[in-house]
Structure 1
Amino acid sequence: MLRWRWHHLVNWLESTGIISAMLLLMMWIGWLLGGVDTLYVMLGAGILFILFAPRLMPQLLIRRMGAEVITPGQSPLLFDMVQRLSERSGLEHFPTLYHLPTPALNAFSTGLDAHVSLVISDGLLRTLDGRELAAVLAHEISHIRHKDIWVMIVADLFSQMTWTFCLLGQVLILINLPLWIMHKYTMPWGLIFLLMVAPSVSMSLQLVLSRTREFEADRGAMELTHDPQGLASALQKMEDAQEREMKILFPKLGRVAVPSWLRTHPRTEERIRRLFATARPLSHPEIWAWDHGVSLPIAKDLPRWRHLSGFRW
């Protein structure tokens, strides 16, 4: 319990620092755009985002993706898994389970407090065995337990807003260049430069936040299952599936290594290495009964929408 309280304190300090940096960036842009009045407008908009967006966006997201609620009668084995892991983690509210109609291997958590949800793709349910699925669910439940969802939704929304600033910067360049050539009044070039680089700064902060949260969620999953092999196997299957998709989309490119500073998640190899450094493999792993999702309706291959939770596998 003491370790979890310390973890929550570190999480809070880190989250407060990064969100404050994003808010200060917005205020700086507001001051350069229109002085003190615009600065206050940006500050007010940022505070409203922080207070209300994390509560409004999750349900909009789930509806947009076409996910459907899973009932206990549809998949009692899945509910049993989530129930056991939720009790171990001490969650106050049992998450609502959603079935995402896509063959991609993915799972994420979203929502706050009593309205927290676990969204699991059809491909994941039908590909992983019970041991691997339990590890993935433990990872997502750890995100809920760590209270990661709120800060990641806010960070993602700030990042979306900075892209709007970037578009504004491009418009100002088109207006500024003719005025500068004619030696007339122009907007400050420093403001335009800041508007252009704002998305890069915001994205960098978001990537740092996301990668840190993933390592901590992996550690939390180990505290719930004590089974590094289960999560490592699931991670490798998801990594292999992503590589197969990339080869289908870009058959002539071969394997392209994405720079670590551009990845939303840590490298799978590094995550697996840390898993086995955190917990030893079990000689007699816990048994998790699972039917590979045959009890659930077969999903159609619907388009996969980008979600705002931040927790993409």
Structure 2
Amino acid sequence: MAFASTDGAVAGLRRRHKIGNLVQSLLLLCGMVLMLALCGWILAGADGLVWALVGGGVSLLLSPRLSPRVILGMFGARRLSYADAPRLFETVGAIARRAGLPAPPELWYIASPTLNAFAVGRRRQSAIAVTDGLLRSLDLRELAGVLAHEISHIRNNDLAVMGLADTVTNLTRLMSLFGIALLIVNLPLLVMQPEAMPWLLILLLIAAPWGGALMQLALARTREFDADLDAAHLTGDPEGIATALARIDGLQRGPWEGIRFPGRRAQAIPSLLRTHPHTEERVRRLMELGAGRRTPQPAFPGLDRTPLPLVLPRAVRRPRYRLGGYWY
């Protein structure tokens, strides 16, 4: 009976987290749309407001939807076969069935020693890319948590949500730049007029893109929390996901960097400018879900602390400079 009450408490905690994440996501999306509408209203009143919303809808409908294979090709990824990593395919298939996806995501491999994984596509056509470093650094139980996290992004249509947010943010930035350009051109006429300059509207026009960008980053962090929560539900093993996050964070910092610049990575990027929440906060929330359970019981048999059997050669590719920075 005590275990049943514990499971009920965990379910209640998960439900509260889900509701909180949903409300926060809706508020942030509404705030971003409000920023776009505000720019339109400042530029042309009620007509500008309508045109801003119509322009956002049209841009979203006409925005190009690249095939997952095209995006993965940009990273030099290649598609994995079942023979390359059968345990990985079986795990992805089991998680995808629990998530209710029409088909399991394709698995792609990036020959990079970095530790990373990401999902592309939509529910009916999706793929997950994993790096060589991730496959060799995590055990099966931890890899299942990472894969469940990416599958949760696919099931929750997070890629479409973030695409919408990106479209709204770009339109807000474009309208703000257009308004500032008009202001500069008409500045002599505005100075000669007897009425005072509308400084408040000018400041709002300048600040709107920054506010939209900050809300977009906050939305990305909220969706990450939600994917962690759903991944814990799909695998039945929040501790496995928590240890995967902690291991990735620790390995990416590296011992030499920790000696030379202690705490630098943790504090280098302010929280407001992060696309992902702090690892410590993500681990804390996951461990709350696992607290009070008898023992970790993953939803799939065979998930243990053994490394993933791989027939792939170890990646030794070094990063080189590309447009936008260094990448493998």
TM-score, with normalisation over the residues of structure 1?
Answer: 0.77
Following the alignment from structure 1 to structure 2, what is the Cα–Cα distance between the partners of residues 69 and 128? 20
Match of 1:240 among 250, 253, 258: 250
Question: What is the one-letter code of the residue matched to 1:128?
Answer: L
Counterpart residue number, 1:291? 308
Q: Relative to structure 1, is the Cα distance of residues 5 and 283 closer, same or farther in structure 2, using a 3 angstrom cutoff?
A: closer
Whether the aligned pair in 1 keeps the contact of 2:112 and 2:315 (CA below 8 Å) is no
Residues 32-76 of structure 1: per-residue CA shift (max 9 Å, x gap): 223444433322221134445484486654343333332334332
Matching residue within 76, 90, 96 for 2:86:
76
Distance 1:284 1:47, change over 3 A: closer
Q: TM-score, normalised by structure 2?
A: 0.74
Distance, in Å, in 2 between the alignment partners of 1:246 and 1:28 is 48
- Secondary structure, counterpart of 2:119 in structure 1: strand
Which residue of 107, 114, 117 maps to 1:104?
A: 114
The equivalent residue for 2:36 is 26
User: CA separation of 1:147/1:106 partners in 2, compared to 1, >3 Å: closer, same or farther?
Assistant: same
Alpha-carbon contact 2:122-2:159 (below 8 Å) kept: yes
Alpha-carbon deviation of 1:169? 5.8
Select between 107-116 and 253-262 the one with higher mean Cα deviation: 253-262
Mapped contact 2:99–2:152 kept (Cα < 8 A):
yes
- Among candidates 203, 218, 225, match of residue 228 of structure 2: 218
- Between 1:225-234 and 1:13-22, the stretch displaced more is 13-22
Aligned CA distance change for structure 1 residues 270 and 15 (closer, same or farther; 3 Å): closer
- Name the amino acid aligned to 1:266: P
Structure 1 residue corresponding to 2:153, chosen from 143, 160, 169:
143
Provide the residue aligned with 1:262 in structure 2: 273
Which structure 2 segments of 5+ residues have no match? 1-10
Query: Structure 2 vs 1, CA of residues 67 and 190 (structure 1 numbering), >3 Å: closer, same or farther?
Result: farther
Q: Describe the shift of the 1:59–1:294 C-alpha distance in structure 2 as closer, same or farther (beyond 3 A).
A: closer
Q: In structure 2, give the amino acid aligned to 1:66.
A: G
| Identical positions, percent | 39
CA contact (8 A) 1:132 1:233 kept: yes
CA contact (8 A) 1:106 1:124 kept: yes
| Structure 2 letter corresponding to 1:78 | L
Tell me how far apart the structure 2 counterparts of residues 148 and 109 of structure 1 sit (CA, whole Å): 10
Residue ranges of structure 1 left out of the alignment (5+ in a row): 308-313
